[in-house]
Amino acid sequence: MGRLFNQMTRGKKKLFAVSALMVMGCLLLLPIFLSITAVAAGGGAPAGGPPADVVAAQKAEGEEGEAEKVEMGRDVYYKTEGPAIGMPAPVTEDNETFYPRYNFESRVLLWVANQQHLYYGSFVLAVPIFCMCIEFAGMVSKDKAMAKKYDQLAYDFIKISLTAYSLTAILGGILIFTFLTLYPAFFGYLSSIFRPVMHIYALTFVAESATLYIYYYGWDKMREGVLKWVHLSMSVILNVIGTVLMFLANSWIAFMMSPAGVDEQGRYLGNIWHVLHTALWNPLNVHRILGNMAFGGGVVAAYAAYRFLSSKTDEERAHYDWMGYIAMSLGVAFLIPLPFAGYWLMREVYAYRQQMGITLMGGLLAWLFIIQATMIGILFLTTNYYLWQALGRMTGGERFQKYIKYLVFILVVGLLVFITPHTIVMTPAELKAMGGQQHPVLGNYGVMSAKNGGINAIIMTTVLSFIWYQRGNRVPTVSWAKFGNIFMGCFFLIGQLNNIWLACYGYFIPANVRIGLSVPQVAGTLSCLLLMTPLNLAMLKNGRQLGPIRWGQIPPRSQYAIIMLATAFTWMMGLMGYIRSSVRLFWHVNEVMRDNSPWAYTHTIGFAANVISFNVLFFWISIMFVFWLGTLGAKKVPVPSPAGQPVPSPQSATGH
């Protein structure tokens, strides 16, 4: 009887806890619902103009014959008519009123503040997504020891991001102060346009913080049974809020590049959805989600690499080797679709404004794109290199290492094509010797058709390296193994041939058809990834194991490769942010609000590269500080290792 009573009490407690968490979750999601309602209603308070009820009253009066009181405007993008209820964009002049300044270039100050906030913002938005995936993997894992390991790893991840979260908020504050201090007119205008969603953004930030803290501090309390699922649901809520937060922030930069919802004078026309949903908003959203994930994976992997290299014991090395591998795999999983998302974004940029696209890809900023291509190449080459090194820690991995040279050839040729510039830097003497601006051989590598072929060849090779890695210490024993191997080989071969053929064919067809060719090229590459990887896993199921993975026994070169990967991510993010921002040239808001500050010119490539490098250095120094903070509270409690995979956890979530 007593036991039954106890069980009932425990059940009630659980029920109460679940109910309380659900209420809490609903409250946290309230701002999002509110924002959706506000957006669906077409706006809330109008920007820089009278409130909605006044507008409605004016409209009603208009119906009674006094319509001339509300001036109508035409949306610069949607071409719809609407009441011009906002103030026009301010026409600024180069003076202290519009552009207060220190004795330094305001644009660079803003650039640094913005970039640092963005780095940390990306990191703290990406890591909870990883945590969600890893925690889920742990929960569904049948192997108890592995489940524990995954859970610990997810906890380690979120712990790193917690300190970074505070820094993100601080940097956000610095960014707003920089805007208010140095660009008051522009910031005033932008906040007048986005006024209906500004507070929603702030509320979403509060909801994000609250969820994150509950998620982190509730880890131990909610580690068993139903509560664990509730805990996982918290991570889902956390990520939903984080994504909404990012979408709102993206809408500001998308508005600056491709304004909508305003007329030619920049007057708000009463439809906040138009202001949010500009031509480039969605491509930017997709690109940023993937970019954040790849970046977050890279940073966590670098953390693991740093801990690996500074480890004193084999156990530590094993743990951080494993952690680095997981983080890098997650990062690379999102890196692979990133070029395709980037391609979509550029396509939309061209569709929005041809001159913007040409400035980016063929004109003023084209050389920066070559640097970007080089960074992308470094990312993929480094990933391959890491996987090849990782083969060395598996018995049987040496079977594949002798073929590395052939993969190197494909990767190098693909990269050479991918980074060949269209506008070649040369002396006048070289120009004369070449007989013109275009080289008859290399000129063909400088255009999109060849570059698509190059990057797809690189990605396909990376997929192949990954499949080799999966097979490192295992041999398929299924009855159809031979057929499977032949099929897989043919699939990759046909995929590459298809890719090369389409890259060549692209020169003989109209541009609009050529752009469409990227679809079968990408389809070939994604097929290799999405079909061959599961096929490989199916073949390896119950396969013969040649030996355990010797975690921790990987050359230090691999860890330097991971650090290089993370640095390349950081540098590329800084570069692409600069490109995206500077494509507006002398506009604060493209074609609506002109930048009349003394810094409304495009920097030289060298100067831009120096500022980007400074940002990268600053970020890495500060994140090292965050990493160091993360180690302060660590308590080392040994966790039993799963059989065959001696990977200990250096610390337990218990007791934090």
Residues of span 423-452 touching other proteins by CB under 8 A: 423-447, 450
- The reply on whether position 594 binds other proteins by CB under 8 A is no
Nearer to other proteins, 52 or 585 (CB): 585
- The reply on whether position 405 binds other proteins by CB under 8 A is yes
Least gap, CB of 242 to other proteins (angstroms): 35
Least gap, CB of 564 to other proteins (angstroms): 11
SS3 71: coil
Q: Provide CB contacts within 8 A for 311, sequence distance 6+.
A: 317, 320
Which tokens is 137 given? 């993997």
- The mark string for 367-386 relative to other proteins (x by CB under 8 A, - otherwise) is x---------x---x--xx-
- The reply on whether position 419 binds other proteins by CB under 8 A is yes
Distance CA 410, CA 476 (A): 26
Nearer to other proteins, 420 or 615 (CB): 420
Euclidean distance between the first and the last CA atom of the chain, given in angstroms as a whole number: 36
SS3 436: coil
Nearer to other proteins, 288 or 317 (CB): 317
The residue within the footprint of other proteins, chosen from 37, 313, 354, 654 (CB under 8 A), is 354
Least gap, CB of 375 to other proteins (angstroms): 13
Nearer to other proteins, 184 or 363 (CB): 363
Distances (CA, A) of 494 to 502, 523, 580: 12, 12, 36
Half-sphere exposure at residue 524, Cβ-oriented, CA atoms within 13 angstroms = 27
**Which parts of 531-590 interact with other proteins (CB under 8 A)?**
555, 557
Least gap, CB of 58 to other proteins (angstroms): 34
CB 335 within 8 A of CB 379: yes
**Which parts of 504-533 interact with other proteins (CB under 8 A)?**
504, 507, 509-512
Q: How many residues bind other proteins (CB under 8 A)?
A: 74
Stated as kind and residue range, the H or E segment containing 81 is strand 81-83
Nearer to other proteins, 97 or 512 (CB): 512
Distance CA 178, CA 191 (A): 14
Half-sphere exposure at residue 402, Cβ-oriented, CA atoms within 13 angstroms = 3
Q: How far from the centroid of its chain's Cα atoms is residue 339's Cα?
A: 12
Strand partners, 155: none
Strand partners, 72: 83
**Which parts of 123-182 interact with other proteins (CB under 8 A)?**
none
CB 516 within 8 A of CB 447: no
- The reply on whether position 606 binds other proteins by CB under 8 A is no
Span near other proteins by CB under 8 A; candidates 56-64, 224-232, 422-430, 628-636: 422-430
Nearer to other proteins, 135 or 263 (CB): 263
The residue within the footprint of other proteins, chosen from 30, 91, 170, 413 (CB under 8 A), is 413
SS3 544: strand
CB 386 within 8 A of CB 554: no
Half-sphere exposure at residue 355, Cβ-oriented, CA atoms within 13 angstroms = 6
- The reply on whether position 610 binds other proteins by CB under 8 A is no
Distance CA 226, CA 531 (A): 35
SS3 650: coil
Residue 506 DSSP label: G
- The reply on whether position 607 binds other proteins by CB under 8 A is no
The residue within the footprint of other proteins, chosen from 20, 40, 56, 351 (CB under 8 A), is 351
SS3 220: coil
Least gap, CB of 625 to other proteins (angstroms): 31
Nearer to other proteins, 200 or 318 (CB): 318
- The reply on whether position 415 binds other proteins by CB under 8 A is yes
Distance CA 493, CA 483 (A): 15
- The reply on whether position 493 binds other proteins by CB under 8 A is no
- The reply on whether position 2 binds other proteins by CB under 8 A is no
Helix ranges (H only) for 62-183 are: 106-140, 144-182
Span near other proteins by CB under 8 A; candidates 9-17, 133-141, 502-510, 609-617: 502-510
- The reply on whether position 475 binds other proteins by CB under 8 A is no
- The reply on whether position 394 binds other proteins by CB under 8 A is no
Nearer to other proteins, 7 or 423 (CB): 423
Nearer to other proteins, 237 or 463 (CB): 463
Least gap, CB of 279 to other proteins (angstroms): 13
Distance CA 2, CA 234 (A): 34
Span near other proteins by CB under 8 A; candidates 32-40, 46-54, 109-117, 363-371: 363-371
